[in-house]
Structure 1
Amino acid sequence: MASTSSCLASPATAAAAPRLRVRVTPRAGRVVACSAGGGGGPEAAGLFAGERKAVGGLACGVLAAWAVASSSSPVIAASQRLPPLSTEPNRCERAFVGNTIGQANGVYDKPLDLRFCDYTNEKTNLKGKSLAAALMSDSKFDGADMSEVVMSKAYAVGASFKGTDFTNAVIDRVNFEKADLQGAIFRNTVLSGSTFDDAKMQDVVFEDTIIGYIDLQKLCTNTSISADSRLELGCR
């Protein structure tokens, strides 16, 4: 059966790093945290050997390349004025096509206005889509399969992603302020330059998540992250 979406009622610097270091949490599921750094010292010395070190270095290289490519365009602030809600009748279905132009810089041919759309339990049509600069505030993605999506500079303030699967996705400069991310899955997901202020993050899965060290520090300030997830992240 084909999946459909519906619209709800609507109201009126990253820098190039000379050296990268990798930290892995002592669990089966790990978080690769990358940070720019020069010297050696105890933190950098003897981290990992062999295959695990190689995998971590590759992951950090990917994250660094993405960060440099996107550093000129920061996250959209919650206080920023947004355009009027689109009157296009099928605007919610446009997420099933996505944007394919300039996702690294949030440049697009036509804005994806997905505000107040309902994609609850959508399991097919969002996978692998590019949602560059999508306006997603107050939308519902609960239980949706958003694996392998590229969300670059998306605005998801107040959106609901309860149990959403972001496996293998690239989440770059997304504003998740006050979003509901309870039980969301960030498995092998790149998290770059995104904000989670006042977001609900109980029982979020961070398995093999690739995240910059500064972004990790900011993420760990969210007090709603459960104890198991904080351990998985390596929050101090």
Structure 2
Amino acid sequence: MNIINHKLARNPLKLLGAAILVTGVSACDIDLDGDHSPDKPQQKMFEVTLTNLTQSQPFSPPALVLHSQNEMLWHLGEPASVELEMLAEGGNAQPLADLAVINKSHVKDTPVGPAGSVSWTFELEYHSDNTLSLATMLVNTNDAFTGLTGVNIAAFEIGETHEKWVPAYDSGTEYNDESAIPGPAAVTASGFDASRNTDVNRVYMHSGVLTMHELSSSVLSPEHKFDNPVAKIIIKRMQ
């Protein structure tokens, strides 16, 4: 072994450099950290599944949205946005999906019945730091909704699965008379009402509905009652 080769053998970094010079391989083609390999997917793929756990509370067409880590669609103890109110009172998720802070949105076309499930599959850029939110209304209520907001999915590994059991929330924007509701239990459906002077005007944990046997104005039957959790959400990174 000559002196040059002997020194290279004792210094692996110099040996790598020599190999690059000999073979003509560009240094930018060497993947030292695993982030830029041509074989590595440049997008991450996720699957999200929502399941309705209630006996007789259909969910309105749900919205799945992606947004920055600095945003939340609701905070317990704080007033609901008008867009959240429109979802919670009338089941219309599109205003939430159209908010300026939303980077991507996926709104389903149909409700999710009791024991029913619905899934989304979507892709994100590999280095995206988006967080995930999902929201839907319990339509046989005045202003109950469920879902989750601000879930950080950026660090999910391939195959990683998170199962969330989520409660019902009350948007606090409409008095719970159990009659002015948009769901099939209503005699005359009633949706979004911009007035907020009939309830507490803050998002809180829903205490459950009252039936016609407990409240004279109620159009609800015992099967419309619910306890928490009301939904299961599974988030999985596929790729």
User: Under a length normalisation based on structure 1, what TM-score does the superposition of the two structures give?
Assistant: 0.24
Question: Which has the greater radius of gyration?
Answer: 2
Which is strand-richer, 1 or 2?
A: 2
Higher RCO (C-alpha under 8 Å, 6+ residues apart): 2
User: Under a length normalisation based on structure 2, what TM-score does the superposition of the two structures give?
Assistant: 0.24
